[in-house]
Amino acid sequence: MSSERDTDSDWNQLGAVDPFWAVITDERFRADKMDTTTREAFYESGFGNVDQFHTALKHYFSAPDHFEACLDFGAGVGRLLVPMAKRANHAVGVDIADSMRAVCQTRLDELGLTAVELVATPKAAAAFGPFDWINSFIVLQHIPPARGMELMADLLATLRPGGFLSLQLTSFRDAHLMAQDTAGPVRKLLREVRASLFPDPQLGQISMFDYDLGQVLALLTRAGCPRFVLEHTDHGGHHGFMIYAQKVAG
């Protein structure tokens, strides 16, 4: 019996009705409030994030200024994919939601970015790899960890030896956010039974999941990334890490 939520359907629904707010949950980016100025501000914010990640990879691992191929996992509407694509000869955006990819493609077309592919899964992206830089930010925290670990393994398999990784996930949360997860094994079992018998029919929920950091670092090490740097992140009491790594060459 499983109470695991169908987050794929949630994100497809979010992409259909409120795609920009789903990426950054700021009321300015609600579908009924978006105008041209706000939309451009949304996309411009992605350049700051990508600058930060790229600068860190340069500092920690001497990453180059430009890449042959890069991949953004959980590309959504293209907020990070666009600035990454401007730093590479070829880019791939991975997002499970058809609705998100449609919005992203519109943005790519507006900017005339033709050397970019959009696919649903890391395995589909492998046809365009291997990649010199793989990035994922505020994405894995919304995917159940068991599945997220499998997706990370698929991503790492497409990373070129010598390639670079910037990946964020959450691993713990402040006490006021833990109530539903710390009620004890009996209540946890009852919640699972209830969720199995009476699943929440409302799509479009944004779920948060915490990962076992030890398991994540073990996965990275086994995939050829034995050296990594962690920087703490805190998104409204959901704590995690930005992980920077380089895959061993040869």
Domain ranges, ordered by start, for the chain: 47-178+206-246
Reply yes or no on whether the pLDDT at 181 is more than 90.
no
Cα 187–Cα 192–Cα 194 angle in degrees, nearest 5: 90
Which stretch of 10-14, 114-118, 161-165 has the lowest confidence by average pLDDT? 10-14
C-alpha to C-alpha distance for 234 and 74, rounded to whole angstroms:
19
pTM, whole model, 2 decimals? 0.85
Q: Is cis: bond before 199, omega within 30 of 0? A: no
Which tens digit of pLDDT belongs to each residue from 116-131? 999 999 999 999 999 9
CA dihedral 213, 214, 215, 219 (to 10 degrees): 100
Which tokens sit at 180? 């539903």
Three-state DSSP at 221 gives helix
Residue-level pLDDT at 221: 97
CATH 3.90.1010.10 is right for the domain spanning 47-178+206-246? no
How would residue 18 be classed by pLDDT, with cut points 50, 70 and 90?
Answer: confident
Which tens digit of pLDDT belongs to each residue from 40-82? 999 999 999 999 999 999 999 999 999 999 999 999 999 999 9
Mean pLDDT, the chain, as a whole number?
Answer: 87
